[in-house]
Amino acid sequence: MKTRFACAALFSILILSGCGSLEDIAPKAERKLPQQIMQVMKAKGMSKGAPIMMRVFKEEGVLEVWKQKPDGRYDLVTSYEICKWSGKLGPKLVEGDRQAPEGFYTIRPQQMNPQSSYHLAFNIGFPNTYDRANGRTGQHLMVHGACSSSGCYSMSDEQVEEIYAFARDAFRGGQQAFQFQAFPFRMTAENMARYRNDPNYPFWEMLKEGYDHFELTRSPPKVDVCERRYVFNRIAPDGASFDPTGACPPTTQPAELLMAYQAYKKRQDLEMARARLKWTRKEPKPSITGIEEAKLVADWSRRRARGERVSAEPPSLAPTMMAKNKPLISAPVTAYAPTAEASAAETASAAATTAPAGAQASATASAAPSAVTESQVQVGAPPLTTGSVPNSGRPAAAPAQSAPAPAAQPGGLNRLWNMFRN
């Protein structure tokens, strides 16, 4: 009893005298997750130390925390509103361009910073293997507190304490590293159609393959880099490896996964084709137009740091310059090569919107997923320069015959004039 009284008295003296604080007694890096979150985890069968994964979406301004369930699949635990992120949609290209990274990153215990000047932080790991293979530069890109960003994803102090606790508990539970996925927006068919004319679209289309693999399997995809591109859930033969700047080795995927992804992608392609025909009020957000704009912003950042007089906002290339920029990368390597049927999916979808009900049913049936051939299981066989799978031997679909246009009908004035002439 006397010991407890003495401890309580000492605690009161430290606080009142200003010689100590609650941070000394309960360090911010050791704060426990709120009871409400613990109850959510318990209801979903998740243990405190189960592995985690995180996703961020720039346009929606959201950071999600996912956690593994006993069956091995991941489920969403909670999400946080991002307090601030700098730059525009699109990847980080050069140091100083103020862009927050996009891509697939790996977080290990040594990247956690409990002594951050921004309350708490962890390093995203930029540049990763893909970034280095494409000559992208930058460093010290973080998820941190203090709600201030120059290329980072910044949260409030309260939020970052919880996010940090998720990572801390997972590492203490035995997880060696967790995946951090950064996207420009939720990569739905509607959003992809909305941004189809953006100069970053080829890069985003590549990210979508990894996004789709997670949506399909609810497990973080295995990520590798070859031909300066991300590849997902590929298995190289014994003795072969993925060279980030070299040709992709011959790879395979489990037939069950490949078949499921093929069917999923066909549905996505149909939805995207329909979305392109719809008008939407939601305008695309500004995005970085390419390396030239990134260099302009980086120069602006350097001059600003030197104390020179610069504009209040970073420079931006005019929209008319966007068409002059080359795509940031070539078309992505995909785990599913479109067949003749898939290439006709958009045409079938467009016809279905204007055809009668019977014709719509026929168009939908013709776009149904087909079985995966054995040659499609072997993905990326050499020489691989386009990411296509070997030809399955099916004949190409015959080109659709367009119906002749109906003859123009005379207008009302012409009919009236003909009456008087007769």
Q: What is the average per-residue pLDDT within 369-385?
A: 39
Say if residue 127 is preceded by a cis peptide, omega within 30 of 0.
yes
Q: Are residues 156 and 230 in the same domain?
A: no
Where is the domain boundary, 159, 186, 213? 186
Residue 249: inside a domain, yes or no?
A: yes
Instruction: Give the integer Cα–Cα distance in Å for 79 and 187.
Output: 17
Tokens 């996009």 map to which residue? 102
Does residue 343 fall inside a structural domain? Answer: yes
Place of tokens 């602006």: 300
74 and 144 co-located in one domain: yes
Domain end: 186, 208, 232, which one?
186
Task: Please indicate, yes or no, whether the overall pTM of this predicted structure exceeds 0.85.
Answer: no
Question: Over 60: is that where the pLDDT of 413 sits?
Answer: no
- Residues 114 and 252 grouped into a single domain: no
Per-residue confidence band for 381, with pLDDT thresholds at 50, 70 and 90: very low
Query: What's the Cα-to-Cα distance from 134 to each of 94, 168, 288, rounded to whole Å?
Result: 11, 32, 17
* 18 contacts: CB under 8 Å, gap ≥ 6: none
Q: Are residues 116 and 260 in the same domain?
A: no
**Least-confidence region, from 251-265, 282-296, 355-369:** 355-369
Residue 122 has pLDDT above 90, yes or no: yes
108 and 241, same structural domain? no
131 in the same domain as 218: no
- In a shared domain, residues 161 and 229: no
Question: Do residues 176 and 195 share a domain?
Answer: no
123 domain residue, yes or no: yes
DSSP classification of residue 238 = T
Is residue 302 in some structural domain?
Answer: no
Task: Please say if the pLDDT value at position 92 is more than 60.
Answer: yes
Note the pLDDT of residue 190: 95
In a shared domain, residues 164 and 268: no
User: If you average pLDDT over residues 293-297, what whole number do you get?
Assistant: 95
- Mean pLDDT of the chain, nearest integer: 79
DSSP letter for 81, please: E
Which structural domain, as residue segments, surrounds residue 41?
27-186
Residue 6 has pLDDT above 90, yes or no: no
CA angle 338, 385, 183 (to 5 degrees): 65
Taking Cα atoms as reference points, which of 410, 376, 370 lies closest to residue 392?
376
Binning pLDDT at 50, 70 and 90, where does residue 317 land?
confident
Q: Are 155 and 67 contained in the same domain? A: yes
Share of the chain above pLDDT 70, in %: 69
pLDDT digits (tens, 9 = 90+) for 198-234: 999 999 999 999 999 999 999 999 999 999 999 999 9
Name the residue among 153, 203, 190 with its Cα closest to residue 284.
190
Residue 137 sits in the same domain as residue 57? yes
Q: Which helix (H) or strand (E) holds 181?
A: strand 178-183
The predicted model gives 128-136 an average pLDDT of 98
Average pLDDT over residues 76-91: 94
Q: For 189-193, 348-352, 392-396, which range has the lowest pLDDT when averaged over its residues?
A: 392-396
Residue 3 within any structural domain of the chain = no
Q: Out of 167, 186, 205, pick the residue that ends a domain.
A: 186
Show which residues are catalytic. 144, 152
Q: Which residue has the higher pLDDT, 150 or 250?
A: 250
- Residue 318 is predicted with a pLDDT of 54
Asked whether residue 405 is assigned to any structural domain, the reply reads no
- Of the listed ranges 131-135, 265-269, 377-381, the least confidently predicted one is 377-381
Indicate whether 181 and 56 sit together in one domain. Answer: yes
- Per the structure, the count of domains in the chain is 2
Task: Give the domain CATH number at 167.
Answer: 2.40.440.10
